[in-house]
Amino acid sequence: MIAPKRKISKQRKHKRRSSVWKLDMPGMVKCPNCGEFYLSHRVCKSCGFYNGKQVIKVNKEAEA
Ligand SMILES: [Zn+2]
């Protein structure tokens, strides 16, 4: 069994993780239709467009 020689301190661990953390999710792309960010290979949440076509109906400002 191979084990690390030393325990990594809380400070070191937190420092490492702070730099790795990303604000946006991986695979986020800008929608060509509305300019919103959405997950790649998923239908755009704000306008319902996918692959240049409207796939789902999105009622904008229907319920306020
Ligand atoms: Zn969109």
Q: Determine the distance separating the centroid of ligand 1 and the alpha carbon of 21, expressed in angstroms.
A: 26
Is residue 40 within 8 A of residue 34, CB to CB? The reply is no
What's residue 9's pLDDT? 95
Is residue 38 within 8 A of residue 46, CB to CB? The reply is yes
Question: What gap in Å lies between CA 8 and CA 11, rounded to an integer?
Answer: 8
Q: Determine the distance separating the centroid of ligand 1 and the alpha carbon of 32, expressed in angstroms.
A: 7
Instruction: Kindly report, residue by residue over 4-16, the tens digit of the pLDDT.
Output: 999 999 999 888 8
Q: Determine the distance separating the centroid of ligand 1 and the alpha carbon of 38, expressed in angstroms.
A: 8
Quote the tokens at residue 12: 């070191």
Decide: pTM greater than 0.85: no
How many CB atoms are located within 10 Å of the residue 44 CB? 23
Instruction: Kindly report, residue by residue over 19-56, the tens digit of the pLDDT.
Output: 766 665 677 888 888 888 888 888 888 888 888 788 88
Q: Determine the distance separating the centroid of ligand 1 and the alpha carbon of 37, expressed in angstroms.
A: 8
Asked whether residue 60 carries a pLDDT value surpassing 80, the answer given is: no
